[in-house]
Amino acid sequence: MENVILIIHLLLALGLIGVVLLQRSEGGGLGMGGGGGGAMSARSAATALGKVTWLLAIGFIITSITLTVIAAQNASGSSILDRLGDAPAAAEETAPADIDTDSLLPPPSGDADAPLVPRAD
């Protein structure tokens, strides 16, 4: 059911994009207008495209709300914090075998003035 609504939603979005791009500029929107005195047929075509745009926009909003409700129902009763307990424990990082970790330790606390250089054993 969710997939069907999602496909309808995507088709409505593509249709809405197409219809908006087909509409003639009324002028004054961005300073570049369609200009000229249009005939009555041009105005009626714009009205028809306007009605189609409204229908597609209403359908898009309805499918958006429907998908939101479905997603909320699927997520009800679960919390992110509940999922944290199910996560696998992180593996401890170990030092590579070829590095001597004792040589990387700082000197004992009695040698506070000693430089921090690796020991050569």
- pLDDT, position 25: 74
In a domain, 8, yes or no: yes
pLDDT for 31:
52
Instruction: Judge whether 3 lies within some domain.
Output: yes
10-residue mean pLDDT profile of the chain (121 residues): values are 94 95 70 53 72 95 96 80 65 62 68 61 59
pLDDT at site 79: 72
Show the domain range for 10. 1-24+47-72
Give how many domains the chain has, as a whole number: 1
Domain presence at residue 98: no
Residue 10 lies in a domain: yes
Token pair in block for residue 116: 């921090």
> Does the pTM exceed 0.75?
no
Asked whether residue 20 is domain-assigned, the answer is yes
Within a domain: 61: yes
Q: Is 36 helix (H, G, I), strand (E, B) or coil?
A: coil
Q: Report the pLDDT value the prediction gives residue 53, as an integer from 0 to 100.
A: 94
